[in-house]
Amino acid sequence: MNTSIGILDEFTTTFNYDDIIEPVYNTHVNIFTSYFVPPLYSLVFIFGLLGNALVVLILIKYKRLKSMTDIYLLNLAISDLLFIISLPFWIYYVAHEWVFGNEMCKIFSGIYSAGFFSGSFFIILLTVDRYLAIVHAVFALKARTVLYGTLSSVVTWAVAILASIPAFIIYHVQKENEKCKCNFFYPLGKEKEWRQVITLMTFTLGLAIPLVIMVFCYIRIIMVLMNIHNERKRKAVKIIFLIMIVYFILWMPYHIAILLQTYQDVFFSVDKYIDSDGNLRLAIEVTEVIAMIHCCLNPVIYAFVGDKFRKYLCIFFQKHVAVYFCRLYTGRHCSKLERSTSSYISTTEHDISTGL
């Protein structure tokens, strides 16, 4: 990684990579990464940490993980938190240089990769979960259990970690322009081939295959929903569908930019494929920041579309936040507020349990 998390910066001052085009440093890239990336990542860190922590709290404390869907939503939130907890390190790196050592470079690069793959995989599982619940409702009664949800989640994390092993291997700390960089470092003599294989693997495994599965599932789901009138099922599908759409809209431009840079000799004519003005590098920087915003958006989707999530969120704020601030600013017990809060909680929990 060069000025941001995912820049393909495989050039060092020690080795001569004959097969690789000499990079051109666009001044707009330096301006963007120096002045815009740190504050944008800081906002993603604050809102993403707060939002996903609330999702984890509500799923565990209030919903108590009673369904396969809850298990997958919990793991999706944990996947987003993987990105978020490493952001302070990348913010410092963008603003200065990598000072956290070679092992931390490998670990955080692996965490970034595992967070991407696991997020994509759990969205697949959420889609398949909706597919089973609606298209194969009878079979789903036996298959959609908490036990199977937990087992499939463990397997999914194992696959995501295996898919992230290349990131653990190829990232190293290197000295460049008197600064330490956490960079890609491919085996000498095979740089181009390794870069192309890993880029293609990431795009295929993390985006292309999941997209095909999801398109198939949602076509079948829509065909079934057109023949039934079940508002509860429609709303459940809408939430998962929005999560999927947002994920792909935000991540796809970044990986397309990486593909264009990696396979320049395939996508462009010989006399034009060299990124002489550095525009592809700038595109990678900008689209990566856009991709990172996805960490903040899932809680927003739950809050605006999920009725139960909103009600549980209201319970949490009424029971803990409102009473706490009342005591803090008045200096005494807020018995009236506590009584109204208890009454609200009892009514709301009854509404949720009865499906109203």
Q: Side chain identity at 285, as an amino acid letter? A: E
For 39, 102, 209, the CA distances from 113, given in Å and listed in that order, are 22, 17, 17
Confidence check: pLDDT of 241 > 70: yes
The answer to whether the CB of 214 falls within 8 A of the CB of 124 is yes
Choose between 61 and 154: higher pLDDT. 154
The answer to whether the CB of 133 falls within 8 A of the CB of 233 is yes
Q: Across residues 300-327, what is the average pLDDT?
A: 74
Nearest to 83 by CA among 125, 33, 120: 120
Confidence check: pLDDT of 81 > 80: yes
Homologous superfamily (CATH) of 27-305 is Rhodopsin 7-helix transmembrane proteins (1.20.1070.10)
**Token pair recorded at residue 2:** 């060069």
Question: Which residue ranges does the chain devote to CATH 1.20.1070.10?
Answer: 27-305
Distance separating alpha carbons of residues 87 and 291, to the nearest angstrom:
13
DSSP 20: S
Per-chain mean pLDDT for the chain: 80
Confidence check: pLDDT of 150 > 90: yes
Q: How confident is the model over 257-304, as pLDDT tens digits?
A: 999 888 887 766 555 545 545 678 888 889 999 998 988 888 888 877
What's the alpha-carbon Rg for the chain, to the nearest Å? Answer: 23
Q: Across residues 204-232, what is the average pLDDT?
A: 87
Nearest to 317 by CA among 57, 49, 48: 57
**Token pair recorded at residue 161:** 């970690």
**Token pair recorded at residue 309:** 């999530």
pTM of the predicted model as reported, rounded to 2 decimal places: 0.81
Geometric angle at alpha carbon 88, from 87 and 94, rounded to 5°: 85
Q: Across residues 134-160, what is the average pLDDT?
A: 93
pLDDT category at 125 given cuts 50, 70, 90 is: very high
Q: Side chain identity at 301, as an amino acid letter? A: I
Per-residue model confidence (pLDDT) at position 222 = 87
CB atoms under 10 Å from CB of 289, counted, come to 19
pLDDT category at 356 given cuts 50, 70, 90 is: very low
Confidence check: pLDDT of 104 > 60: yes
